[in-house]
Amino acid sequence: MESVLRKEEKYLITMLDSRRYMDTLEKLMLQDTHNGAEGYQIRSLYFDSLNDRDFIEKEQGLSVRKKIRLRLYNPKNTYAVLEMKQKQGENQLKRSLKIEREDAILLTKGIYTPLLNYKQPFARECFSIMNMDCYRPKTIVEYNRKAFIARENRIRITFDSCIRATESCYDFFSENLCLYPVMDQGNIVMEIKYNGFLLGYIKDIVSEVNRSSLSVSKYCLGRSISISIR
């Protein structure tokens, strides 16, 4: 199991600005090992309670909140990653556990007992929360990411594009999901993830953005259709 505590800042920028920033970062930072010419693909399936408590707490901007998701980088993978992200004031705690493909499929069907087969306390914590509060799959969100890592202290800067989703199909490992865009395709979400302090050249890049940090939630974007018709 992995556990990471860090600050996360998000900015909505144009595609043109993203190219300019990435050209600069390629000279100053390491590229994520998964980066190809266009980055790499991420797919997440988000769970929520029957009354959408996590969604509502995010929309209300509560300083203490959480979200639970499965994450996948290739539909052909033999595993998925179960993650819980918890907002704790200015910090985000992310805990992750790799689970078998067959177990992940059962989770997408609302069957959480496979989590009891894992020895990590985190698995049992997720089992308790998802059963007690009747969690169910709510949306799948997929996007392309290009990531850069600072040599000095592992700061990560990511650029997410082509954000698309579905609320009607939870076939998480499908290679032919029918997805629709949930954000203007000319916009890019830039995220800066760090512990402690930002390096000077990264501060300079952020100051160039000249916009306030945004609360851009891919989960909330993925719920855009079902929430709008309530």
Report the pLDDT value the prediction gives residue 210, as an integer from 0 to 100. 57
Residues 66, 98: Cα–Cα separation, whole Å: 19
**Helices 15-28 & 200-209, crossing angle to 10 degrees?**
170
Kindly tell me if the per-residue pLDDT of 229 is higher than 70. no
Report the pLDDT value the prediction gives residue 202, as an integer from 0 to 100. 82
Domain that holds residue 54: 2-228
Q: pLDDT band at 37, cuts 50/70/90? A: confident
Count of other CB atoms within 10 angstroms of residue 183: 20
As a whole-number percent, the residues of the chain with pLDDT over 70 amount to 96
Q: pLDDT band at 41, cuts 50/70/90? A: very high
For 190-223, the pLDDT digits (tens) are 999 998 788 888 888 777 775 655 666 899 999 9
Look up the CATH number of the domain holding residue 204. Answer: 3.20.100.30
Q: Where is average pLDDT lowest: 8-17, 120-129, 202-211?
A: 202-211
For 51-95, the pLDDT digits (tens) are 999 999 998 888 889 999 999 999 999 999 999 999 988 889 999
Report the pLDDT value the prediction gives residue 90, as an integer from 0 to 100. 84
Kindly tell me if the per-residue pLDDT of 142 is higher than 60. yes
Report the pLDDT value the prediction gives residue 227, as an integer from 0 to 100. 72
- Tell me the two tokens of residue 121: 């306390």
| The 3-state secondary structure of 148-185, one letter per residue | EECCCCCCEEEEEEEEEEECCCCCCCCCCCCCEECCCC
Q: Per-residue pLDDT averaged across 170-186, rounded?
A: 93
Chain center to CA of 214: 15
Mean pLDDT of the chain: 90
As a whole-number percent, the residues of the chain with pLDDT over 90 amount to 64
Report the pLDDT value the prediction gives residue 230, as an integer from 0 to 100. 57
Kindly tell me if the per-residue pLDDT of 144 is higher than 60. yes
When divided into structural domains, the chain yields a total of: 1
